[in-house]
Structure 1
Amino acid sequence: MDNFPGVGKVVVAGGTILVGGIVLYKVSSTTANKVKSWLIVRAEAKSYESAKKEGTKTKNHSVESGKSSLPTKGKPNSSKDLKDKKGIKQGRYYDKNGNDDLDIDYRHGGTGHKFPHRYNWKNGKRGPVY
């Protein structure tokens, strides 16, 4: 039994899929497991997008220190913070394929920036501040 945000409790057993205590489908166990896998992927994506929007840690979050920048590849649907002696300098989110997706900069050199600010990544390139 798993609890999926926006769906409720889902049970996949003996070829039956129950959602919120109601029999949704009677199917082969292979089909039931495919549905369960799809629901898990969907719930993880929803959780990732929510964390990214709110600027909070994902379920699969980590911290790096002692480096000048974060890697452009990471674990799918994860977040990572870059920490130095002053604290968290930058956060990065990695999409479903583990590619850089969003940066939140909390501080860095240069002038003319309000902190924190965000950058979207597209095709391996960091876009403008928004």
Structure 2
Amino acid sequence: MRLFEKIIIGFAIFILICLFGVVLYGMYIYRYEGKRPSDQPDTEWISEDGSIEIYVDENLHATGSMNIKGTEIPFIFSGEIRGEIIDIYAIEAKGREGLYPEERYETWRGNFKRKDKFTVTVEKTTYFEVGEKITFYRVDDEED
């Protein structure tokens, strides 16, 4: 009977650890809920230096433009549903984002701790430097 009790206790501890892990994962994936630009319809965002602008429409589709060395480059701002990764695509890629690698300009990792500000770290790039940090501020009048 001793062995059976040890097996039951071990199994119960295993189940508790698994449940704890599931709860922690659930908290982790929802930590940015409502704070990413793509969660906030009809908002405008601008980078700290003013060279990048993003607009999120009422359908939560985000587009923008960046001014690189005097050239205006329009883009699609596409992020994971609940994640940190943001991909910047050529505006011509609308409706087929991710199909043609040459249409992806940038890959950024976002930090969305506040509803009115976020910072990205450049991971893959055409126009910036890997590791560069870019901070964006919400500039519309809406108060949440």
Q: Which has the higher contact order (CA 8 A, sep 6+)?
A: 2
Larger Rg computed on CA atoms: 2
Please report the TM-score for the alignment, with normalisation by the length of structure 1.
0.32
Higher strand share goes to which structure? Answer: 1
